[in-house]
Structure 1
Amino acid sequence: MIAMGGVIGSGLFLSSGYTVSQAGPLGAVLSYLVGAFVVWLVMACLGELAVAYPVSGAFHIYASRSISPATGFTTAWLYWLTWAVALGSEFTACGLLMRRWFPDVSVWIWCLVFAAVVFGVNAFSARFFGETEYWFSLVKVVAVVALIVLGGAALAGFHPLAPSGSHHPFLLENFSTPHGLFPNGFSGVLVTVLAAFYAFSGSELIGVAAGETEDPSRAVPKALRVTVARLLVFFVGAIMVIAATIPYDKVGLDESPFVTVFSAVGIPYAADAMNFVIITALLSAGNSGLYSCARMLFSLAEEKQAPQALRRLSKRGIPLIALSVSMLGGLASLVSSVAAPETVYLVLVSIAGFAVVGVWMSIAAAQFFHRRAFVREGGDVRILAYRTPFYPVVPILAFALCAVSLVGIALDPAQATALYFGVPFVVACYLYHWLRHGRRSSRAAV
């Protein structure tokens, strides 16, 4: 449920509108199908690593042991960046949606309010966080199922509640219009793949929580299978309903496409109710993100790759200093007070998308080198509690598709900021590790 809570957030509830507007109906579905396929590839790699190294906040440990300490250090900070920046995008999305009820209140004020709420939930206790996140995630799942069922029924011709004259086209008429395939060409699909990847970010939280699971060899593979299957149904099903219901040139970042669909279906007060549900869902994703950020910093401090103050725990066992530092990324959403919120949101999504793709690439590479070293040392893959299928095709394909997605964002000026910020960030991490620990620690460990 933590993984589901982390994945179902602004990437589906808000930026899916941007994906449809740029890629068109069919292009948006294709982008999300590619995203789901890549998630399966990465999760297949993650399963073997998570069972082999069941350590809390373990992404950088996978890379450190299988590739090099420098790569592990960079991966850790990339993943922290993923969620620190994603926090800002979730809070900004909440502020944008609150304008439906409070159009005169600045977005940055809502960002501050929601940041305080999420911080409070995480700071109280781990048990309180887990219980809260479970119910938050359940609300989101119900919302997505309702969209698929009610929106799908309306598309099939069953829309008794819709106002007269506002009935939807039968089934997939939007897909058959002259511009329904790829209105902006295939490049429109390519530039939205990163947004789709961002929408799926959070599925790797299973690896973060593996060290806190009683029986990782049983629980982690099961969680991976169930999560990937549910994401495929929820995301692809939802994007098909959205793309079929709303013309691609009528959707964007000014309103959640979920709200637009429920308004069009004609359910009384559904738009306001869904707006509230979506805000709750976004806070849930931010809740999971802050949890992940704090655990990653704590894990870095445990490995003596971050200030030791980040290891300090409260009486309730919460890494409060790591939690506070991680919240700084969320406060980036306050930039929306002096800039266009939609622009700020898209920039944050792009940076977070770049970072999560970098982490996924490290997971794929780590599994490739881990398996190779295991076999070289005489290990029998048949004894592995979980092994990545179709090795080495799966890790190589996962790495290659992630790399291609980074090329796509260079074609979109609105998302190119991710490269301007992300590439120097990666270089700086490697350079810092090399200067602090020397060249030998930066060499591959394989």
Structure 2
Amino acid sequence: MTIGTVKKPKVVIPNTLVVFGGSNQEWLPVMETAGWLCHRCYDLRTAETLLLEIGPCIGVVDLSNDDFSIHSFSAMVNRNKQVRWIAIVRDDQLTNEAIGQFIVNFCLDYFSTPVPPARLQQTIGHQIGMLNLERQVWPQLGNFGQQGLQGSTAVMKKLRDQVKRIALSDVSVVISGEIGTGKILVADAIVQASARAKRQIIRVNCEIMTPDWTVDTDNGVESVFAAANHGVLVLEEFTALTDACQLGLYQVLAEGSYYDSEGNAIAIDIRVISITNHSLDHLVSLTTLRRELYFRLNVVSLTVPTLRERSDDIILLAEFLLLKYARQYNSVAKYLSEQAQAMLLQYPWPGNVRELICQIKRAVLLAENKSIEADQLDIPRLVDDKLSLKKVREESERNALLTVLENNKGQISAAARELGVSRATMYRLLNKHELVPTPRCFRQGHA
């Protein structure tokens, strides 16, 4: 499945330079006079924060004074691949192995001191042109979609910061979090902010993946690796993979190639994003998961916070969802009453954001006035202090299933897609709550 194309924003040629290290550079006033906004940095923390805020830009690093660790700076540069670097060095430094490797690995060009301002300005101007071309080809490069990442709490700000950092590299990512926290949306945000935003995205339901890693496509049965090559492979609940599937995936990732139907080895270029409901601590102790595969997949990990951890975002999210679905369903609903807001805040939200979406969507569909009142929300009243969290979770899960079935006229496949689960998982949930629809209940079709 591929993500739809994003409307290209108006291209604006950036005129920002980040200059790291050095002092009394004679070329710097020349650039500022020419209209460049030059940010000076003298420590790594300041530089990294600034680069994260600015996004794709041109960076100039002055190595001529030997006043910082080239190893530490290389690590920072490697984490910020959206920057095009130009180095300034002394001639005698070019025989230094570490500096030579840094220039070859990370820099587009270098200049020896004293720096000729005219040539430097010409080089930077050309790189700005290349950067502008990249923005046309990859309009989302350095940005990330806000859907699923709304919120002003510290945990959400941290998550957005992590997404920014991770998106611009091609490392494998594991996204963990409770059911309904929005892990798929975080995966989409990473992809949208990366250089692969316009490439093929293949999402795999690992519960039903075959040992030979094939999927049905418009072209017939095809290898998952062929379909996702040069794009992104998203593994939904990767811990559900059978041992045979895990072994096959590990071999492909370790060898960097797969075999086609004729036995030919085909090189692969795939970014893997793995999603799980398990906590990272639990993953480490999971005996059914191959260690060697786990360490291949978990180069970087993200944990999506629960709604309980970001309670200050609940009303903000609810109002955002209300406006979204009111427009979508042409509803009269405009706002939440104070009593409705109070009810949303007192509820523990065991189903997280997904449950909140179901509640708001249902209220919007049934709304008869501009205000959504508390009695229009299908939220369990927690009047019994002894009511167990387990029972609250079960009631909430059952209500969410009823709502999604109602919205989809009893069609299980459509309901499963809306919840973001497989048909098999949907049937297990329905059986658990004795909600398997019959022809009498839903006469407009079956899954």
Shorter-chain TM-score: what band?
Answer: under 0.3
Higher-Rg structure is 2
TM-score (norm 2): 0.26
